[in-house]
Amino acid sequence: MTSRIDIGIDGGGTGCRVALSVAGGPVTETRGGPANIVTDPAGAEAAIRLALTEALSAQGLGLDALEHARICAGLAGARLPGEADRFATRLPFLAYVVDDSVTALEGALEGADGTLASLGTGSFFISKSRGVTRHVGGWGFRLGDEGSAAWAGRMALSLALRVADGRLPADPLAEALMAACPPHPVLWAREASPGEFAQLVKLVVAHPASAITARVLAAILEALREGLEAVGHAPGAPWVLTGGLGEMLAGRLPEDLREGLRPAAGRALDGALRLARGLP
């Protein structure tokens, strides 16, 4: 009888990870390159194949073992219509592909009902209650990502330009932001990536007395509240706040938002492996 093989995959624009367990034994983890299934499906396929091959090899297995595996892949972009099915044709053994937000929620709450708010370079909100999952956001820097670090950095830089125009009072954060975006913020912004906008939040945090900082933090909290409400989060119910900006905000939340807040129990990769183990 062939031993049961469970595999979880977490893939996104910065890289992919694979977790593999044989017969419920120790978990082997491997890493691979960027795995954006929307912008570079061929690159994502190659990265996942390599990470899978390494994980199987570490357990003394070959690719043929995938025939007997239960696999869940949580991949960024899989929520877009048709993308999950389209990518699965490249890797036919991926019978269960979900958006990485689904595996992130599963890992953070260990399968329990609750809400996950992710405020990193981008943002999304997802909740699960009585078998029903609701998801908002995650549409990227150009069209959304409200409350994210990239979104907040852009807002701060926009306010700095208002100071330069004389529409807002002089502000030390505005000076720091202007200096951080040579030769001029408008020219800098033309080529800047969401990650580079997100880095500007470090300057925001470093100027707690700034009026611009106060406006940006208030806007982030408003976006957080709106996102939680949009997915049906009930005040006081269990929820997790993740992402670099989310972790920074955790200790600064108003009292009402702290109700029900708990640390993440696990990662998206853990959630993918957990979902794989639940497959028939």
The stretch 225-230 carries a mean pLDDT of 96
* First-to-last C-alpha distance (Å) of the chain: 17
The stretch 254-274 carries a mean pLDDT of 93
Name the pTM for this structure: 0.86
pLDDT of residue 1: 44
Structure tokens at 168: 């807002």
**Contact yes or no for 269/139 (Cβ under 8 A):** no
pLDDT of residue 219: 96
Interstrand relation of 96-99 and 69-75 (parallel, antiparallel or unpaired): parallel
pLDDT of residue 2: 60
pLDDT of residue 37: 86
Running DSSP on this structure, what letter comes out for residue 113? S
Residue 276 makes CB contacts below 8 A (sequence gap 6+) with: 6, 7, 8, 70, 71, 72, 96
The stretch 1-15 carries a mean pLDDT of 83
Second-level CATH architecture of 5-110+265-277: 2-Layer Sandwich (3.30)
Q: Summarize pLDDT for 123-150 with one digit per residue, the tens.
A: 999 999 988 899 999 888 888 899 999 9
Give bridge partners of residue 69 from the DSSP assignment: 5
What's the CA angle centered on 96, arms 92 and 101, to 5 degrees?
Answer: 130
pLDDT of residue 65: 85
For residue 200, pLDDT over 80 is answered with: yes
Question: Where exactly are the structural domains of the chain?
Answer: 5-110+265-277, 149-258
**Contact yes or no for 63/56 (Cβ under 8 A):** yes
Distance CA 244, CA 135 (A): 20
